[in-house]
């Protein structure tokens, strides 16, 4: 058994697919069913007896500062959040990781998944009944992950928190340090680095039943989980658009983000009363398409 030393919550990303709410605040700070996402996760960690918690910030980092006083967590800034994938957040806490939970700030757990003692390194998994585009795991009779493929059918896929034991942490960080400055590493998820070295980085699958782990990539997905967002998106951008189009927030559907090549945010498209529109966040221009 491994006694958990600490937890790292990764909250540095821009969550561009979560437009337009993510233009106004980090996704981790939205309120879902009455609780701020990251606050719920911090409370669950503390309830499990894990008091040493680090939050890795980047995008709109100043908005997380209140967490230090409210929950006695420690903030670690990732200066490369715009130019690298989440491997930069792991690198930012390389001196902190031991027997550690690594969490995504935007996950919602309906049940507390954390515990103070953990038997094995693991990656959380949900089951896809039918086809999926998620990262699907293949594992042996002992539950050790042997391969990961993007896309699959009737398969267990990666979603949620992970636990690294100290031995896994040491091996992974040796690889990360060795490869960090290679140009091809910048765009890699830490999971991709793990998969590329899966034979030497042993991790098990931990299966969760449906309805325990949630992730909201788009406003439409959030609305399915928290119906209060159907009529009130909490977005000043969408409220302004509704004023221009003389519509209700519930009329705005199928919101999809895009990047325009010159601005990280780009903008988003949506459907309103059977018409499709495009909103450029960089230019603050709304037009029918």
Task: Note the pLDDT tens digit of each residue in 16-27.
Answer: 999 999 999 999
Task: Note the pLDDT tens digit of each residue in 187-212.
Answer: 999 999 999 999 999 999 999 999 99
Is the pLDDT confidence value at 160 over 80?
yes
Task: Note the pLDDT tens digit of each residue in 245-268.
Answer: 999 999 999 999 998 765 557 899
Residue % of the chain over a pLDDT of 70: 98
Q: What is the pTM of this model?
A: 0.94
Whether residue 20 is preceded by a cis peptide bond, meaning omega within 30 degrees of 0, is yes
Q: Which residues contact 242 (CB under 8 A, 6 or more apart)?
A: 248, 249, 251, 252
Task: Note the pLDDT tens digit of each residue in 86-143.
Answer: 999 999 999 999 999 999 999 999 999 999 999 999 999 999 999 999 999 999 999 9
* CA–CA separation, 41 and 55 (whole Å): 11
Q: Report the pLDDT averaged over residues 170-185.
A: 97
Nearest to 89 by CA among 79, 99, 98: 79
* CA–CA separation, 216 and 62 (whole Å): 23
Q: Which two tokens stand for residue 112?
A: 């507390």
* CA–CA separation, 144 and 274 (whole Å): 48
* Residue-level pLDDT at 259: 83
Task: Note the pLDDT tens digit of each residue in 58-74.
Answer: 999 999 999 999 999 99
What are the structural domains of the chain? 2-215 (3.90.550.10), 235-288 (no CATH)
Nearest to 93 by CA among 178, 28, 6, 175: 6
Q: Which residues contact 35 (CB under 8 A, 6 or more apart)?
A: none
């Amino acid at each position: 058994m491994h006694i958990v030393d600490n937890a790292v919550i990764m909250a540095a990303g821009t969550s561009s697919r979560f437009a337009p709410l993510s233009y106004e605040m980090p996704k981790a700070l939205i309120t879902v069913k009455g609780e701020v996402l990251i606050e719920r996760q911090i409370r669950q960690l503390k309830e499990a007896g894990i008091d040493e918690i680090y939050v890795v910030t980047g995008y709109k980092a100043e908005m997380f500062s209140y967490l230090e006083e409210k929950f006695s967590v420690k903030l670690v800034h990732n200066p490369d959040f715009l130019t690298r994938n989440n491997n930069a957040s792991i690198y930012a806490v390389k001196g902190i990781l031991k027997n550690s939970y690594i969490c995504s700030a935007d996950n919602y757990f309906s049940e507390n998944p954390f515990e103070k003692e953990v038997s094995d390194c693991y990656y959380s998994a949900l089951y896809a009944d039918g086809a999926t585009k998620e990262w699907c795991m293949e594992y042996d009779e002992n539950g050790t992950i042997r391969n990961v493929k993007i896309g699959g059918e009737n398969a267990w896929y990666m979603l949620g928190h992970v636990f690294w034991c100290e031995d896994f942490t040491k091996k992974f960080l040796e690889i990360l340090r060795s490869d960090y400055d290679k140009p091809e590493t910048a765009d890699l998820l830490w999971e991709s680095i793990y998969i590329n070295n899966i034979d030497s980085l042993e991790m098990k699958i931990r299966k969760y039943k449906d309805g325990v782990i949630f992730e909201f990539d788009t406003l439409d997905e959030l609305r399915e989980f928290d119906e209060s967002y159907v009529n009130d998106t909490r977005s000043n951008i969408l409220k302004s658009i509704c004023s221009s189009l003389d519509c209700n927030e519930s009329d705005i559907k199928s919101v999809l983000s895009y990047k325009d090549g010159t601005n990280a945010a780009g903008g988003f498209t949506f459907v309103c009363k059977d018409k499709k529109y495009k909103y450029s966040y960089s230019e603050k221009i709304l037009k029918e398409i």
